[in-house]
A and B are shown apart, each in its own frame.
Chain A
Amino acid sequence: MDTTVTAKKKWWAGGYSPFNVSYGKLMMWYFLLSDAFTFGALLISYGTVRFSSTSWPDPNHVFHSFPFMGDMNLPLVFVSLMTFILIMSSVTMVLAVHAGHNRDKKAVVKWLIWTIIGGAAFLGCQAWEWTHLYHNNAWWGSNPFANADGTAAMNSNFTDFFFTITGFHGLHVTSGVVLNIIILLNVLGGTYEKRGHYEMVEKVGLYWHFVDLVWVFVFTCFYLL
């Protein structure tokens, strides 16, 4: 940390970025800020509707299945696996960025591939979960789950919010995987080697970590609370 230097430097005097990051990186931060408000709006509206309901389905009852485990009651286990996969892919992304700082092309390629595998694995898990719920008659407009207090569901608010928010997050993961693949192709093609830096990996890395960040909140709001 160069806090002593930065304190004296006149950041707003011009001649350099007052944020000490490149334009592209700053804009990625501002994009993520706006995306945070989009997800925030979705999660807060979910919270509002849940608060306004006299009863709500119990997540431990709804999300209790695991692939190939049949009817075994395993609340939280599958979504914990998904959370672990996403955190792990965030770590491999940081390692790719780190390798980029060291201009270590082979390591960047390796860690990017692991990140893509992690993202694909997460999407696979989500596809299984959605399919499973769909076969249990849960979908937009269709809520088969009884409320925690035993009363029948009066509307499909629960499934509507679940599929909309996890779907919007899944869409972000999908575009993150696509971006990672594009970056990987560029790394393999030597684009960043020619450019002299791997900052593009950092920018896409920021997006990827944001996707992980959103999942932390989705995980809490839908599966824990």
Chain B
Amino acid sequence: MAHVDNTAEHKNTGTAHIWKTFWILLGITVVEIVLAFIHLSTGFPGKLLLNSIFIGLTLVKAFYIVAEFMHLGHEIKNLILSVLVPLVFFVWFIIAFLADGDSWKNMRKDLSPGKPRVEQKAAPAQHGGHH
């Protein structure tokens, strides 16, 4: 431990900041649940807005857990960047894979049995040709 010089600064600090983080996390979770119940009974806010709020609040919670509970916010920049920069891959993963899923859904809808083909090249059968 001799090569790590941040152990002394923690000594005798209070636990107030821990409980503050707890109340923030609990508060956000309560807000999420209340919003979900409001949506269930009134239909407001709309599903897209509601989901955006949920994802935003989830990221805020994640930030507080990582920064405070896991103490990453108080580490030096080298460690913070070493842990966080690789997570940038997720941005691309999420965009690419969800777009792929969406494309599959559209194909399922457009090409489902019995559905008239729109904007497709005329089927050769209509010309009556037997090649």
Footprint of B on A, CB under 8 Å?
A: 1-2, 6, 11, 15-22, 26, 29-30, 33, 36-37, 40-41, 44-45, 47-54, 60, 75-76, 80, 83-84, 87-88, 90-91, 93-95, 98, 101-102, 196-197, 199, 205-206, 209-210, 212-213, 216-217, 219-220, 224-225
Contact = CB atoms under 8 A, between A and B. Distances in A.
A171 to B, nearest CB: 20
Given A93-B69, A102-B12, A209-B70, 13 more contacts: A1-B74, A11-B78, A16-B4, A21-B4, A51-B104, A52-B102, A54-B109, A84-B29, A90-B69, A101-B7, A213-B70, A219-B58, A220-B58
Interface string B15-34: 10011011001100100110
B109 to A, nearest CB: 6
Given A16-B3, A20-B79, A102-B11, A76 B37 contact: yes
Interface residues of B, number: 59
Contact of B98 (A36, A47, A213): A47
Contacts, number: 153
A43 to B, nearest CB: 9
Interface of B is mostly: helix
A60 B40 contact: yes
Contact of B105 (A11, A16, A54): A54
